[in-house]
Amino acid sequence: MNKKTTDSTDASEPLEPQDAPADADASAPQHEPEETAGDPAAAEASREIDSLKDRLLRLQADFDNFRKRTLRERDQLYRMANEDLLGELIPVIDHFELGLKTAAEHETDEAVQKGFRIVLDQLNSAARKFGLEPVDVEEGGAFDPHQHEALSHIPSDQYEADAIVAVVRRGYKLGDKLVRPCQVVVSSGPAAGSGGES
């Protein structure tokens, strides 16, 4: 009887290892949560990279705008400085031209006149290097209020109304900007009654 009991107990012992595979299968899925947990981190890293790229593009655009604005401001200051300097130089040129005209009228020594002309040419050459150019005006040309300043109107049988009769003072332009308008005398047309007399 005892022997049968022992055999019965021994026969039931091999059943214990059969439970082991169930434990192994239960432990296998433990790696899946780690893989799933890695995806949000990768997504977060991708969003961070995109954000940094966007910030970099914005910084590059801001720097480019700053560089262009700085160049414009520097160019504007340069033009303003030139305009102020050349504006002070124009009356000097006027006086040299007036002196030459007076010297010629009074038949001053030719050597003196030549010296005046050399200095005047140098002044005009220096002014042209910085963009200062005289405004071309011809007697008989049309009056342009955007470039000319009418000092007076006089009757003229030679010129029609609103034509330039005489140039009193030369005008100047700095690039496309008018620095000083030409001062002119403008025709008001034939004098009243002149047509009937003829």
The SS3 assignment for 178 reads: strand
The first and second tokens of residue 45, run together, are 């890293």
pLDDT (tens digit per residue) in 176-189: 889 999 999 999 98
Residues of the chain above pLDDT 70, percent: 78
The SS3 assignment for 152 reads: strand
The reported pLDDT for the residue numbered 119 is 92
| Cβ(150)–Cβ(184) below 8 Å | yes
| Cβ(132)–Cβ(164) below 8 Å | no
The reported pLDDT for the residue numbered 195 is 56
- Give whole-number Cα distances, 175 to 75, 82, 91, 108, 122, in Å: 13, 11, 19, 36, 20
Strands 177-180 and 172-174: antiparallel
The reported pLDDT for the residue numbered 6 is 46
pLDDT (tens digit per residue) in 25-67: 444 444 444 444 457 888 888 888 988 999 999 999 999 999 9
pLDDT (tens digit per residue) in 97-138: 998 989 888 888 999 889 989 999 999 999 999 889 999 888
Strands 182-187 and 148-154: parallel
**3-class SS string, 62-117:** HHHHHHHHHHHHHHHHHHHHHHHHHHHHHHHHHHHHHHHHHHHHCCCCHHHHHHHH
In this structure, of 89-93, 162-166, 193-197, the range with the lowest mean pLDDT score is 193-197
**3-class SS string, 108-146:** CCHHHHHHHHHHHHHHHHHHHHCCEEECCCCCCCECCCC
